[in-house]
Structure 1
C-alpha cells in the first residue's frame, strides 16, 4: 500500500503537492522524496521513523510537515532547509533536545507542535520564529518558560500544559497579541502582575497549579474563558491588616455619640432614648474599651492591642468582665 501511494506520487512528478503516508508502519522515510520538488504537504505521522532521510532537505517548497507519533529523539537537522515551512508537527516522539541552529531557516513558520516529548529546555533560537502564532509544548519536562518565547510578537496561542513550570517570566507582558494562554498542571505559585498587561488575552487556563493569590488588576482582563480549578486559592491563612477608623459604620458612629452623651447625662438624649425601646435595647449591649474606657457596639476596637504585661503591672486592676469584653473584640 505504501509503495503504491509513493508510486502514484512519483508518477505525478513535479505536479505532486500532497503526499500522505499516515500509519503505514514505516521505519524509514523514502529517499525518492527528492523527486517531488514541488511537494507542499508531507504527512508521515503514526509510523516508526527514528531518523529522517537526507533527501528531506530538497523539499524547499514544503509548507506542512507532519512527523507526529514517530520515534524521533531530536528535531532533525534537515528541517532547517525547509525555508517555506509554515506548519510543523513533531508531537508524540521522544525528542529530548533541539540542537542549536535547527530552527534557523524557519522564519515563515506559523505553527509548531511539540506536544508529548521529553524536552527539558528550548534553545534561544526559538525567539527567531517571528511569524509564529501557535506554539504547543504540552506534556514535556520544561521547568521554565524561555524568555525568548515572550518576544514572539505575533504569538496568539501558547500551550505549556503538563510540564514542571514554577513561574511565569515578567517578560510575558511583551506578548501583546496573545489571545490564549494554557498552563494547566504545572507548579506555578503565582501569576505576575505583567499578565494583567495582556490586553488581548481572552482565554486563560491555569487549572491544577498551586496558585493562592492573583495580582492586582487581574479583574481588568477581558477574559471570555477562565479556568482555575484545582488551585489552593482559599487554603492559605488570611493576611490581617489594621482596619482604619474611617471604616466605622454609620450605626457605630451614631451609637458612640449617643453613648458618650448618656455618660454625660445629657437630659435631651436621656429623655429621647426612652421613646425608642429598640434602640435602647441595642445600646444596653454596648461594651467599654478596657484601655480607653470609651463605649462601642461593634466587635472591632481600633485602640486596643495586647502586649505581655510587665512584672510591675497589677492585673487585678482589670475586672473579669473587662478582660472578657476586650477579648471578644478580636
Structure 2
C-alpha cells in the first residue's frame, strides 16, 4: 500500500525542549510494507521516502503506534504518533487516498487478514518513483501531444493550447482526478455530451475555439455538481441553451465575444454565480430571472441594449394550462429524474425550454410577458455596461398577480 502526499516528520523530543525542527512538508511516498526477519517472520513497517530520504525512513507498526489522529481526515490530513522513535508523521494528501491508507493501517494493527493484504516491498525508490505521479500536463506544440503515451490517470491539470485540436480527446474525458482543463485557442466545435467520469473537474477554459453546440449531457450530467468556472469567450455560440443553467455550482461564467442575442431564461437560477461577463455580443435585454442574481462583477459592455420604455409586451394568460404544460410543470417542480431515452425528442425539447416566473413556478406558453427596467446595481456590486445604470429585462409571468407585482417592483419576489 502506497500513498503519495505532503509529509512532515516532527520530533517530539525537540518540541519538549522548546526547540523547533524543520516543520516543512515534503512530497513523499508513504508505504506500508513487510520486511523478512532472520527467524522467518515478517515485520511490518511504514516507510517514508523522498528527495531527502532516498533510502527511506522506516517506522515499525506493531506495538509502536501510540495514536492515529483522524479528526481532519475529510480534508486529507492525518497524524500517526509513534512510540519509538518519538516522532509524529503528519500527512496531507488526497482525502480518498489517505482514507484508503488508514484503512489498510487499521487492518494491520488489528491483525485482520494481514497475509491477504497487498503490502509493498520495502525497497529504495528510483528517482522517477520519488518524483511521484505526474499531476500536470502542458502541450504547446502538436509534437508534444501524447498520441501513443496517453494521459496518466493521476493528472489533475491539463493545458493544451494552440495546436488546432478539433475535438476533445475521449481519453481526457476519463481522467477522474482532473480538476482543471484548459483547451484555449484550438478549433473545437462541440462540447462533449458525456462527462460522467470527470468527477472532480472544477475549471474548464475553452475560450477562442469554434464552439457552436452545447449538448444537454454536458450541463445536465456530472459537471452540474462540480464545475465552478466556465470560459466560453470567443466562440461561435448563437444560442446559449437553457439547460446550461443546470450547472448549479458555477461561480464564474465568461461568454464574451460570441453571437448571442439573448441569455438563457433561467440564468437567475445560478444562485452561486459571482462573476458574469458577456461583452461584445448582440444582447438586447436580460432575462427576467436576472433580478435574483447577486454578483460581485457584471460586465455586459458593447451590446445593443433595448432602451425602450417598460411595458407589458403580451398577455396570453388563460384560466387553466393545457395538459402538456400541467404535466411538464409537475416533472420540473418535483424534480422527477428522466433520461433522453425515456421520451420522444419533442417532449424532451419541451421540458428543456422551461422558463421560470419570478415566483419560481415553471412556465411555457400560458404566460404574460413584460419589459421592466432593471437597476444593475441591485444585482452586482461592480458593473460595467458602457455607463448604463439600468437596462430592460424580459420577464415571463405565470399569473395576473405576478404580472402586477413584477411591473410594480421586480425585486418583490
Query: What corresponds to 2:286 in structure 1?
Result: 168
Query: What corresponds to 1:110 in structure 2?
Result: 228
Query: What corresponds to 1:195 in structure 2?
Result: 374
Report the CA distance shift for 1:125/1:26 in structure 2 as closer, same or farther (over 3 A): farther
- SS of 1:96's equivalent? coil
Q: Output one character per residue of 1:116-140: Cα deviation in whole Å (capped at 9) or x when no partner.
A: 0000112222111111110000000
1:102 Cα shift? 1.6
Higher CA-based Rg = 1
Report the CA distance shift for 1:161/1:90 in structure 2 as closer, same or farther (over 3 A): same
Measured in 2, the distance between the counterparts of 1:78 and 1:26 equals: 27
Report the CA distance shift for 1:125/1:142 in structure 2 as closer, same or farther (over 3 A): same
Query: What corresponds to 1:300 in structure 2?
Result: none
Report the CA distance shift for 1:29/1:49 in structure 2 as closer, same or farther (over 3 A): farther
Query: What corresponds to 2:349 in structure 1?
Result: none
Q: Output one character per residue of 1:137-181: Cα deviation in whole Å (capped at 9) or x when no partner.
A: 000001111022221000011101000101111210111x31211
Report the CA distance shift for 1:150/1:198 in structure 2 as closer, same or farther (over 3 A): farther
Question: What 5-or-longer segments of structure 1 have no aligned partner?
Answer: 1-9, 218-330
1:30 Cα shift? 3.2
Report the CA distance shift for 1:194/1:153 in structure 2 as closer, same or farther (over 3 A): farther
CA contact (8 A) 2:372 2:392 kept: no
CA contact (8 A) 1:54 1:78 kept: no
Query: What corresponds to 2:303 in structure 1?
Result: 186
Measured in 2, the distance between the counterparts of 1:142 and 1:213 equals: 16
Tell me the C-alpha RMSD between the 2 structures: 3.3
As a proportion of its length, which structure holds more helix? Answer: 1
Q: 1:68 aligns with which of 177, 184, 197?
A: 184
Query: What corresponds to 2:200 in structure 1?
Result: 84
1:46 Cα shift? 2.0
Measured in 1, the distance between the counterparts of 2:254 and 2:174 equals: 27
User: Relative contact order (alpha carbons < 8 A, sep ≥ 6): 1 or 2 greater?
Assistant: 2
2:230 is the alignment partner of 1:51: no
Question: What 5-or-longer segments of structure 2 have no aligned partner?
Answer: 1-127, 311-370, 394-406
Measured in 1, the distance between the counterparts of 2:194 and 2:145 equals: 15
Query: What corresponds to 1:142 in structure 2?
Result: 260
As a proportion of its length, which structure holds more strand? Answer: 2
1:53 Cα shift? 2.1
2:269 is the alignment partner of 1:151: yes
TM-score by length of 2: 0.44
Report the CA distance shift for 1:127/1:194 in structure 2 as closer, same or farther (over 3 A): farther
- SS of 1:195's equivalent? strand
Measured in 2, the distance between the counterparts of 1:83 and 1:213 equals: 38
Report the CA distance shift for 1:216/1:27 in structure 2 as closer, same or farther (over 3 A): farther
TM-score by length of 1: 0.55
Measured in 1, the distance between the counterparts of 2:280 and 2:133 equals: 42
In the comparison of the two structures, how many residue pairs are matched? 205
Q: Output one character per residue of 1:240-297: Cα deviation in whole Å (capped at 9) or x when no partner.
A: xxxxxxxxxxxxxxxxxxxxxxxxxxxxxxxxxxxxxxxxxxxxxxxxxxxxxxxxxx
CA contact (8 A) 1:70 1:93 kept: yes
2:209 is the alignment partner of 1:30: no
Measured in 2, the distance between the counterparts of 1:170 and 1:69 equals: 33
